[in-house]
Amino acid sequence: MIQPQSITFFIDRCLGNRRIVETLRAAGITIKIHDEHFDKGAQDVDWLPEVGKMGWVVLTEDGQISNNLLERIAVARAQVKMFIFVSQSLSGADMAAIFLKAIVPM
C-alpha cells in the first residue's frame, strides 16, 4: 500500500492569525509560519521561490499575487501550490474552518 505524502502548509504573513495556526495544528496538519522562516518585510517574489523549493502549499489572503506579474512568474517558476482567500470579511475562525474542510479528507 502506498502511503500518502505528507503536506506542509505555509501560512503567509497576511494570515498571521493565531487562530488559523492553532486550529490547523490541532487537526494534525503540519504548518510553517512566514515570520519563522523569512523577515517580516520579505517581498513575495523573494519567499515564493523558497517555499516552492520546499514543496510547501501556501495559504494566503493576498489576492494581489494573482494580479502582480512578477509574483505570478515567481509562483509559476517555483511551481507553488496555494489556496487564496479573496474575502476580507472572514474571521480567522471562519478561514480555519474553510481550510480544514478543503484539505482534510472526509
Over the stretch 14-62, which tens digit does the pLDDT of each residue have?
887 688 899 999 988 999 999 999 999 999 999 999 999 999 999 998 8
d(CA 95, CA 52): 23
**Interval 54-70: pLDDT, tens:** 999 999 988 888 889 99
Q: At residue 5, does pLDDT exceed 80?
A: no
What is the reported pTM? Answer: 0.86
Residue that wins the pLDDT comparison between 30 and 6: 30
Which stretches within the chain are classed as H helix? 18-26, 34-37, 44-54, 69-78, 92-103
